[in-house]
Amino acid sequence: MESEGLSLLEFRNISKRFFGVHALEDVSFGVEEGEFHALCGANGAGKSTLMKILVGVHQPDQGEVLLDGQPVTITGPAGARRLGIDIVFQEIELPPNLTVAEAVFLAREPRRLGMVDYGRMFADTGALLERLGVPIAPTAPVESLSVAGKQLVQITRALAGETRVLIMDEPTSALTDHETEILFGILDGLRERGTTILYVSHKLDEIFRLSQRVTVLRDGRLVGTRPTAELSTDDLVRMMVGSTERDEALDPLAGGGRGPDRGTVGQRDAGMEPALLEVRGLGRQGVFHDVSFEVRRGEVLGMFGIVGAGRTEVARCLMGLDQPTSGKLLWEGRPVRFRSAAEGVAAGIALVPEDRKLQGLVLEMSLRQNASLPVVGRLTRAGIIETGRETALAGKVVRDLHVVTGGLEQEVKQLSGGNQQKVVIGKWLATNPRLLILDEPTKGIDIAAKREVHELVRKLAGEGLAVLLISSELGEVLTLSDRLLVLHEGRVTAELDPRAATREEVMRCAVS
């Protein structure tokens, strides 16, 4: 550990696995009392998992958390608050029908004679808002506030108790520059008053502006803790993305972009193909703007970006799930507008979503039923599903994608994460798409399943399918892509050749 002061908070040998995959492995570092300590790393580095362990949402498989030098067991957010630890999550978690004062003191309202003491609650909230410099009235309805206002109320709520450690998880992702400066002013005041702040962010300018020290995680492991003043932007980027021998040993497909064997990807001269899809100046107000690119048959177009870059939102507009507010799409050179996902599917677009459990599968249904969902209309006669045809289709998905299952009637919730993902990919391939959009296709699956998905992507591109690969894993997009787009805060900041681009170059484009 690289701390010379008194560690108020210490993580000691923390490890956590999900479905056999390491999210954290042997992470140890300390946070000093009164320190503004930043925690950063690329997507999937383990930052959010570590913070959820700190507030008791998850329990570590190994290791312990120490407070004031003593091990503590944190069983949930309420228990964390009793210890003086609170978190402001990136997502707004305030009931819209309450006043600001009611939201601030929710579940811990001051009482008098067994009744909520509203007078005291509004007075205490007003005093707290004034002390923090938050320009919001305690009587204001939460639903009337801007995103920034709600974020400030969340911070006020976290500080309404005896908070010693305040965790901020990507707090500026939805704020304007002006709103961000208001937040920074409040954080500066908290630091001056001695509040210990653990600040999770992808935004390097914020880390350099606010923090005294920064801890970097990569692939669930600790890279190091350094005084921020001793680092340059290039130093920090290098710590975030530098490859290791362990990375290559675990999965050669997740290495750099210059490997000698890229399979079938790149063997077709996709650059000579006319564009299947052209995206020109596409925008969705408040989400992304002026996004332009082309996708051709037989190529894998990679799309990389950190949280808030707008990658998934772009994909949803391409599919017809959301409607853009500017720009246009051309399909085989002709302007198109998909008013629904059904129109996107009919044109030949398939989207494998980021969250397979919430968006990709009906967990209580069988493998057979899930595999046929996008094409069930083709399998019916007189409004009745022909079970034989449905079974044949599901059997083909199992054979072609090597799904390990106890049978076609097995509920998909009983499959491993990797096999669930194969079912999602297989059901969309059953639509015979011409453009396959893969949004985080290897998220949360083991190394063997990841390798199979990579091989499938190579095979599909080699057969002439256009693939848009959205991934948070640098090694994945560098290895599999023929061209690579980098997005930052809703804009395309670079189009790179993955054979020549370095990890540092890609990450630099993704954070600035």
**What are 116-157's pLDDT values in tens digits?**
999 999 999 999 999 888 889 999 999 998 877 888 898 888
Q: List the beta bridge partners of residue 167.
A: 87, 198
Q: Where in the chain is the domain with CATH 3.40.50.300?
A: 1-84+196-242, 253-269+297-323+340-511
Residue with the bigger pLDDT between 7 and 125: it is 125
At 255, is the pLDDT very low, low, confident or very high (cuts 50, 70, 90)?
very low
Indicate the pLDDT class of residue 108, thresholds 50, 70 and 90: confident
Report in angstroms the alpha-carbon separations of 192 from 78, 92, 186, 421. Answer: 26, 26, 10, 48
* pLDDT value, residue 176: 67
User: Rounded distance, CA 224 to CA 301, Å?
Assistant: 33
Percent of the chain with pLDDT over 70: 92
Per-residue pLDDT band at 253 (split at 50, 70, 90)? very low
Name residue 344's amino acid: G
Alpha helices in 159-232 (DSSP H): 177-192, 204-210
Beta carbons within 8 Å of 318's beta carbon, 6+ residues apart: 277, 279, 329, 338, 344, 349, 351, 437, 468
Write out pLDDT tens, residues 451-497.
899 999 999 999 999 999 999 888 899 999 999 999 998 999 999 99
The confidence score (pLDDT) of residue 71 equals 96
Taking 70 as the threshold, does the pLDDT of residue 251 lie above it?
Answer: no
**What is the reported pTM?**
0.69
Other CB atoms within 10 Å distance of the CB of residue 107: 6
Rounded to 5 degrees, what angle do the CA atoms 351, 355, 359 make? Answer: 65
Alpha-helical regions (H) of 71-200: 77-82, 100-104, 118-132, 147-158, 177-192
User: Could you tell me whether strands 213-218 and 196-200 are parallel, antiparallel, or unpaired per DSSP bridges?
Assistant: unpaired
DSSP code per residue over 6-23: -EEEEEEEEEEEETTEEE
Superfamily of domain 253-269+297-323+340-511: P-loop containing nucleotide triphosphate hydrolases (3.40.50.300)
Q: Cα separation of 174 and 169, whole Å?
A: 12
Dist CA 485 CA 477 (whole Å): 10
pLDDT of residue 451: 87
Band of the pLDDT at 262, cuts 50, 70, 90? very low
- At 470, give phi and psi (nearest 5°): -100, 120
pLDDT of residue 263: 42
What value does the mean pLDDT of the chain take?
88
Which CATH topology does 1-84+196-242 take? Rossmann fold (3.40.50)
Mean pLDDT of 350-364: 92
Give the pLDDT mean for 224-234.
95
Contact by Cβ (8 Å): 209, 172: no
CB atoms within 10 A of CB 50: 28
pLDDT, tens digit, 9 for 90 and up, residues 166-191 = 999 888 876 767 778 888 888 888 88
Residues 382 and 253: their CA atoms lie apart, in Å, by 47
What does the angle CA 218 – CA 175 – CA 285 come to, to the nearest 5 degrees? 105
Instruction: Write the CB contacts of 192 (distance below 8 Å, at least 6 apart in sequence).
Output: none
Asked whether 297 and 269 are in contact (CB, 8 A), the reply is no
How many angstroms separate the CA atoms of 341 and 152, rounded? 36
Taking residue 336's Cβ as centre, other Cβ atoms within 10 Å add up to 15
More confident: 94 or 167: 167
pLDDT for position 271: 59
Q: Band of the pLDDT at 244, cuts 50, 70, 90?
A: very low
Structure tokens at 353: 């979503």
Percent of the chain with pLDDT over 90: 64
Please state, as a whole number, how many other Cβ atoms lie within 10 Å of the Cβ of residue 309.
26
Residue 169 sits at φ, ψ, to 5 deg, of: -105, 105
Residue 215 has pLDDT above 80, yes or no: yes
Q: What is the pLDDT of residue 19?
A: 64
What's the token pair of residue 380?
A: 């019916």
Q: What is the largest CA-CA distance in the chain?
A: 79
